[in-house]
Amino acid sequence: MAQPVTRNLVILLTDIKGFTDRTSHQSRAEMQQLLDRHKEIVLPVLQGRGGTLVKTMGDAFLMTFESPTNAVLAGIDVQAALRSYNEGKPAEERIDVRIAINQGEVNLADDDVFGEAVNITARIEAVADAGDVFFTGRYSTCWSPRTQVGPTCSTSRINWISPGMRRQRRRSPRSRRRARSRCAAATSWRRSNAAVGPWT
């Protein structure tokens, strides 16, 4: 194993909501077609904002970014692209993705990334819903909320959650809702049918 290099990076994790359940009632060919389309739509958007693909994990992408703002904007762009793709499609063809973002020191070695920042990102992703872009409260101080996001994110949901939610595991939607309500420090923006930004 190569000597790890430590860097402070933004970690972005995506996955398809309900993917595991879909594998039980769709054929291999259908699932592969879904994954191919997911990659065609999502990956270029993330890379277009400066994201670097670390690895794919089935239906998930693990990315790194240098810029916190670009990571958030990439997440918003992905949700906008998927809303356009999903419009008018039946449930079995929809691609609904949740996105989690965190920043911190990580170790880079053997074309992979390790560290607490990665682990926290995975825990954040576990409490996100389809269409969400979730990031920690600490992370929210590192990106520029005055960035003009524009009408393309008209129904995106941008949220921050506090590190107090780190210990939440993947549970049912009802359990995740209870977890959120217990976290008094969590703040959530719900932008529905209205342009987001600029902030003042």
Overall average pLDDT of the 118-126 stretch? 90
pLDDT number for residue 20? 87
Tell me which residue of 16, 25, 97 sits closest to 58, measured CA to CA. 16
What domains does the chain contain, in order, with CATH numbers? 5-188 (3.30.70.1230)
pLDDT score recorded for residue 92: 86
Contact 157, 131 (CB under 8 A): yes
C-alpha to C-alpha distance for 76 and 157, rounded to whole angstroms: 8
3-state SS, residue 66:
coil
Q: Which residues contact 15 (CB under 8 A, 6 or more apart)?
A: 57, 59, 60, 61, 97, 98, 125
pTM of the full predicted structure? Answer: 0.74
pLDDT in tens, 66-109: 999 999 999 999 999 999 999 999 988 999 999 999 999 999 99
Q: What mean pLDDT, rounded, does the chain reach?
A: 76
pLDDT for the residue 10: 94
Write out pLDDT tens, residues 28-81.
999 999 999 999 999 999 999 999 999 999 899 999 999 999 999 999 999 999
Confidence of residue 158 (pLDDT cuts 50, 70, 90): low
Cα–Cα–Cα angle for 156, 159, 165, nearest 5°? 145
